[in-house]
A and B are shown apart, each in its own frame.
Chain A
């Protein structure tokens, strides 16, 4: 750390797909902190020495990072840091060895560090939103969405299907996680988990092409609470189609 440079340390956990970073800011570490939690999967902290000055990145955590590498989530980071994150995630996936025990898989990690100028750590002027977005959500609607996503996961898990590649299971786990995150963080979205679930909707899951499109659209709509109502209708309709006893 010098007056104009800072060391950035990044850590990626491939099994859980979580990246975290911290910046050694020296004297700046004692300045005003700006906390930004735009959704349940993203947390950023910035330091600002004086009002009006550009905030400088202090730390961040992103869950399901490999699913949001080209989305608004990474555009919240300074471009140089976002670039380091992309490199680390792409190379760090190899840290997960085949045949490793569950504990070894969870402990697997890849680290990187770089020295950047303070200018390269400034909050991007084009960041999607500088202010934490506390979204006003109808609690009843949020509960209905949570229950609907859970029911869809349960119905998918019960479908008679040869899941040799485990793709159906992966989608089911991600749908359950999405429902749990939305329930545990009322009023926030979970774009990382929904992007991961959308990526898991692919060949090998027991859905037709049309149903896959419908599910992907419904999951994408969950990233914006003002479209939750239509998303809820789509998920309920898809679940009813898949539910046992319904003629497909």
Chain B
């Protein structure tokens, strides 16, 4: 067995087998720690490999609220398990969207056991090496291996998306990039710019329709159908 520690935390345990108590007795920290564990328990049943990433996202969101909001959450949900049930599902979707955008889903291919390829990875992890990346690069470097039609198609979609986005005004481009490109939640963006979620959703849908129409005019309906799912720079 060969093993390497990627971090070298200092210090030995001071209380054997006793859970560490986070320093600071403030109820927010205690609540956050328990919330973390409840989210892990819930999310592990769906996708165990990123359960602690999702838990970290939920807890960071909780701790980033202002103190009054945190107090009201704790007053409304004294049982952190119930609050975890409320927020975990959405947090899982948001986390997955961010992961897919970060790894440019649609371009990277992952080899399957039967020799076929699929887009994206078969499973995700915050720090895992992309298992499909090497295969794709081999195909690009070696002229004898034909590049999959889907790869060519997706690259063309990506270029077209660039051109169409450049035609939008700055605000619209920024909005579409944040929501469809960077995976920000509509709720969060709406709160930030001070409009209702429904209003923002309608605006985003209008922008998506504009993009689809332009794509159809430039490259046909088939391409238009996938254009809004293309990676946005």
Interface flags, A167-207, vs B, CB<8A=1, else 0: 00110011011001101110000000000100110100000
B32 within 8 A of A: yes
User: What A residues does B162 contact at CB under 8 A?
Assistant: none
Check B51 against A102 for contact (C-beta < 8 Å).
no
Q: Which of these binds chain A: B78-86, B178-186, B187-195?
A: B78-86
Check A17 against B20 for contact (C-beta < 8 Å).
yes
* Interface residue from A16, A69, A113, A120 paired with B36 (Cβ < 8 Å): A16
How many chain A residues have a CB neighbour from B under 8 Å? 73
Check B13 against A90 for contact (C-beta < 8 Å).
yes
Check B80 against A180 for contact (C-beta < 8 Å).
yes
User: What B residues does A26 contact at CB under 8 A?
Assistant: 131
Name the CB-closest residue of A to B23. Answer: A98
User: What A residues does B6 contact at CB under 8 A?
Assistant: 111-113
Check A105 against B23 for contact (C-beta < 8 Å).
yes
> Which positions 54-102 of chain A face chain B at CB distance < 8 Å?
59-61, 63-64, 66-67, 69-70, 80, 84, 90-96, 98-100, 102
Check A180 against B81 for contact (C-beta < 8 Å).
yes
B205 within 8 A of A: no
Q: Beyond A9-B128, A22-B125, A166-B21, is A93–B13 a contact (Cβ under 8 Å)?
A: yes
Check A63 against B32 for contact (C-beta < 8 Å).
no
A40 within 8 A of B: yes
Check B12 against A99 for contact (C-beta < 8 Å).
no
| Nearest-Cβ distance from residue A153 to partner chain B, whole angstroms | 12
Name the CB-closest residue of A to B28. Answer: A102
Check A66 against B18 for contact (C-beta < 8 Å).
yes
> Which positions 112-156 of chain A face chain B at CB distance < 8 Å?
112-116, 120
> Which positions 1-46 of chain B face chain A at CB distance < 8 Å?
1-14, 17-26, 28-30, 32-34, 36-38, 40-41, 44-45
| Nearest-Cβ distance from residue B38 to partner chain A, whole angstroms | 7
* Interface residue from B4, B19, B49, B111 paired with A114 (Cβ < 8 Å): B4
Q: Beyond A17-B20, A105-B23, A112-B4, is A181–B30 a contact (Cβ under 8 Å)?
A: no
Check A92 against B131 for contact (C-beta < 8 Å).
no
A246 within 8 A of B: no
Q: Beyond A22-B128, A94-B11, A183-B81, is A43–B45 a contact (Cβ under 8 Å)?
A: yes
Tell me the complex Cα distance, A116–B36, Å.
30
Check B19 against A17 for contact (C-beta < 8 Å).
yes
User: What B residues does A112 contact at CB under 8 A?
Assistant: 3-7
> Which positions 209-228 of chain B face chain A at CB distance < 8 Å?
none
User: What B residues does A92 contact at CB under 8 A?
Assistant: 9
B52 within 8 A of A: yes
A34 within 8 A of B: no
Tell me the complex Cα distance, A161–B45, Å.
40
Check B25 against A169 for contact (C-beta < 8 Å).
yes
User: What B residues does A31 contact at CB under 8 A?
Assistant: 113
Check B5 against A185 for contact (C-beta < 8 Å).
no
A234 within 8 A of B: no
User: What A residues does B8 contact at CB under 8 A?
Assistant: 91
> Which positions 83-130 of chain B face chain A at CB distance < 8 Å?
85, 111-114, 122-123, 125, 127-129
B233 within 8 A of A: no
Check B56 against A107 for contact (C-beta < 8 Å).
yes
Tell me the complex Cα distance, A13–B55, Å.
11
Tell me the complex Cα distance, A199–B20, Å.
11
Q: Beyond A22-B49, A95-B7, A102-B26, is A180–B18 a contact (Cβ under 8 Å)?
A: no
> Which positions 9-50 of chain A face chain B at CB distance < 8 Å?
9, 11, 13-18, 20, 22, 24, 26-31, 37, 40-41, 43, 45
Check B55 against A43 for contact (C-beta < 8 Å).
no
Check A103 against B63 for contact (C-beta < 8 Å).
yes
Name the CB-closest residue of B to A27. Answer: B113
> Which positions 62-85 of chain B face chain A at CB distance < 8 Å?
63-64, 79-82, 85
Given contacts A61-B52, A106-B63, 18 further A-B contacts (CB under 8 A): A14-B20, A16-B33, A17-B20, A20-B48, A22-B125, A27-B111, A30-B114, A45-B48, A61-B40, A96-B22, A106-B59, A107-B60, A110-B5, A114-B4, A116-B1, A173-B30, A174-B19, A199-B17
Could you write out 6 A-B pairs with CB less than 8 Å apart? A17-B19, A17-B37, A61-B40, A66-B18, A94-B10, A106-B33
Q: Which 5 A-B pairs have the closest CB atoms?
A: A94-B11, A114-B3, A43-B44, A16-B36, A94-B9
